[in-house]
């Protein structure tokens, strides 16, 4: 399931992010430092050093925004979120076709996170760079994603995906993974649709008893499928 989460960051926040990421002393490193053996041959970009003060500061702002965003909660049903990272592509940089590693070590904790969902939060306006689309292969074919600054896409970490070469300007993004309470993408989609339907019934003044019953169905399915 691909879910477009609009306006996770407002323009004020975006300006703050871009100022910090564009600063001369921003700790950009070769993106291959976090690539697995599969990615290292196809990955060509830069990342803010993982665990640096800047990555932590901006990452915490993203995490706080996620906690307040009902669409993200409903779509991802997050259990754990990997500390957000930041990347940039310019001058032809790209990331060839790959699948994200299934298990990642949470830095500094020894704990592991299963990557059920991949997230890309776009930080640069789409007209400020050419190409650089995120291409995601899903069951309906290849989806092309290039979103407004501040918007985020959620997609299955299991899907083949790539980033086209950036031929002008700079593509800035934040990316991270989510371990969901509901591991199966199909079950997560059913819960997402059911939740959206219940919200709409509430908003349009549907019969209270029926809404209550459906809400019970939602929670009882979640209880059956959720793992903690």
Mark residues 188-227: x for contact with Ni ion by CB under 5 A, - for none.
Answer: ----------------------------------------
Both tokens of residue 15?
Answer: 């300006």
Draw the binding track, 91-130, toward Ni ion (x: CB under 5 A; -: no contact): ---------x------------------------------
Position of minimal CB gap to Ni ion: 100
Identify any residues that bridge with 216 across adjacent strands, giving them in sequence order. Answer: none
The Cα 214–Cα 199 span in angstroms is 11
**Rounded Cα gap, residues 200 and 168, in angstroms:** 42
Question: 13 or 32, CB closer to Ni ion?
Answer: 32
Q: Which is nearer to Ni ion, 100 or 195 (CB)?
A: 100
- Nearest distance, CB of residue 127 and Ni ion, angstroms: 24
Phi, psi of 53, rounded to the nearest 5 degrees: -55, -40
Query: What is the smallest separation between the CB atom of 83 and Ni ion, expressed in angstroms?
Result: 16
What radius of gyration do the chain's Cα atoms show?
Answer: 18
Min. distance of Cβ 227 from Ni ion in angstroms? 24
Give dist(CA 200, CA 177) in Å, integer. Answer: 29
Q: How far is the CB of 207 from Ni ion (least distance, A)?
A: 45
Torsions phi, psi for 126 (to 5 deg): -60, -25
Which residues are at the interface with Ni ion (CB under 5 A)? 100
């Amino acid at each position: 399931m691909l879910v477009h989460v609009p306006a996770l960051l407002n323009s004020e926040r975006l300006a703050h992010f871009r100022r910090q990421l564009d600063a001369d002393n921003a700790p950009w490193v070769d993106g291959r430092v976090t690539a697995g053996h599969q990615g290292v041959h196809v990955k060509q970009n830069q990342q803010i050093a993982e665990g640096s003060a800047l990555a932590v500061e901006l990452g915490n702002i993203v995490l706080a925004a996620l906690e307040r965003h009902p669409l993200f909660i409903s779509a991802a049903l997050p259990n754990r979120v990997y500390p957000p990272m930041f990347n940039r592509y310019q001058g032809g940089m790209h990331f060839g076709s790959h699948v994200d590693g299934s298990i990642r070590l949470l830095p500094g904790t020894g704990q592991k996170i299963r990557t059920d969902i991949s997230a890309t939060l776009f930080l640069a306006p789409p007209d400020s760079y050419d190409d650089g689309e995120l291409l995601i292969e899903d069951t309906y074919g290849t989806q092309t994603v290039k979103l407004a600054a501040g918007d985020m896409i959620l997609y299955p970490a299991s899907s083949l995906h790539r980033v086209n070469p950036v031929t002008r300007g700079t593509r800035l993004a934040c990316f991270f993974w989510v371990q969901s309470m509901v591991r199966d993408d199909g079950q997560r989609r059913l819960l997402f649709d059911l939740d959206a339907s219940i919200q709409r019934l509430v908003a349009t003044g549907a019969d209270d008893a029926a809404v209550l019953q459906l809400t019970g169905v939602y929670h009882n399915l979640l209880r059956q499928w959720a793992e903690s």
